[in-house]
């Protein structure tokens, strides 16, 4: 008796063996991994890495940033390490709110913009802040800020009023994973 092998089976088995994230990632998105392997996220490719800027009070190192653009959207991710113990002596819920909102209230006055989401969030147990702002046409900005030990992570993405750009924005802000859990 001759056993007939399905030619598709090896391909299907290989596809099933791939992690779900690898299968879901399309060619126009890339995974960005921090040089020290403490975080990763997805953003449209190509993502341009930069570092530097003025060291602010409390910073232990330079800010590392990645930016990419897709059609009319801007995707921006950065992090900076603070001096050891910088946040441990502070209320991180309050600190992340202040850092997450920053100058948003001045740049996006409530008289002209709708604050869709303005609340504390967590990422793997770490304190964070979500701020989503829209204009009258539904276009807006989504911002996430997290404090993980002595590192500050920030994500910012612009989105049009259409579902495609909003979905890309959500994918971006929800993709951040950090190596440490609380």
Full-model pTM: 0.82
Segment 72-87, tens digit of pLDDT: 999 999 999 999 988 8
Residue 40 lies in a domain: yes
46-61 pLDDT, tens per residue? 999 999 877 777 888 8
Q: Is 17 within a domain?
A: no
2, part of any domain: no
102 found inside a domain: yes
**What pLDDT is stored for residue 50 in this prediction?**
95
pLDDT value of residue 105 = 78
User: Which pLDDT belongs to residue 111?
Assistant: 86
Domains held by the chain: number: 1
Q: Is residue 93 part of a domain?
A: yes
Domain-embedded: residue 73: yes
**Do 71 and 165 touch, CB atoms closer than 8 A?**
yes
Q: Which domain holds residue 85?
A: 26-178
Listed as ranges, residues in the chain with pLDDT below 50 are 1-25
CATH number reported for the structural domain that contains residue 57 in this entry: 3.40.1000.10
Report yes or no on 141 lying in a domain: yes
What are the C-alpha distances in Å from 9 to residues 12, 14, 24, 174? 5, 8, 20, 34
Residues 6+ apart with CB under 8 A from 87: 95, 147, 149, 150
What is the enclosing helix (H) or strand (E) of 33? strand 29-33
């Amino acid at each position: 008796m001759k056993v007939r092998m399905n030619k598709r089976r090896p391909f299907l088995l290989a596809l099933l063996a791939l992690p779900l994230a690898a299968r879901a990632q399309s060619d126009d998105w890339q995974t960005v991994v921090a040089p020290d392997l403490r975080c990763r996220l997805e953003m449209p490719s190509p993502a341009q890495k930069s570092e530097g800027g003025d060291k602010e009070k409390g910073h232990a190192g330079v800010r590392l940033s990645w930016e990419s653009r897709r059609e009319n959207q801007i995707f921006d991710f950065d992090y900076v390490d603070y001096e050891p113990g910088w946040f441990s002596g502070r209320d991180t819920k309050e600190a992340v709110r202040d850092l997450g909102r920053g100058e948003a209230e001045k740049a996006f006055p409530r008289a002209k913009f709708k604050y869709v989401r303005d609340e504390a969030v967590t990422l793997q147990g770490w304190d964070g802040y979500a701020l989503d702002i829209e204009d009258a046409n539904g276009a807006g900005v989504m911002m996430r800020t997290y404090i993980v030990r002595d590192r500050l992570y920030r994500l910012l993405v612009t989105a049009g009023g259409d579902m495609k750009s909003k979905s890309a924005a959500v994918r971006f802000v929800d993709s951040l994973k950090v190596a440490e859990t609380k």
